[in-house]
Amino acid sequence: MPGAGQPTWICEILSPATASKGREVKMPVYARYGVRYAWIVNSRERTLEAYERRDDAWDVMAAYQEGDEVCAALFEAAVFRVGDLWE
pLDDT digits 0-9 by tens, 14-47? 988 888 888 899 999 999 889 999 999 998 999 9
Percent of the chain with pLDDT over 70: 95
How many structural domains are present in the chain?
A: 1
Cβ-count burial of 67 within 10 angstroms (0-12 exposed, 13-18 middle, 19+ buried)? exposed
Is position 4 within any domain?
no
Which pLDDT score is estimated for 5? 76
Which pLDDT score is estimated for 3? 56
Structural domain that includes position 55 = 9-86
pTM, two decimal places: 0.87
Is position 33 within any domain?
yes
Q: CATH number of the domain that 79 lies in?
A: 3.90.1570.10
Is position 61 within any domain?
yes
pLDDT mean across residues, the chain = 90
Is position 2 within any domain?
no
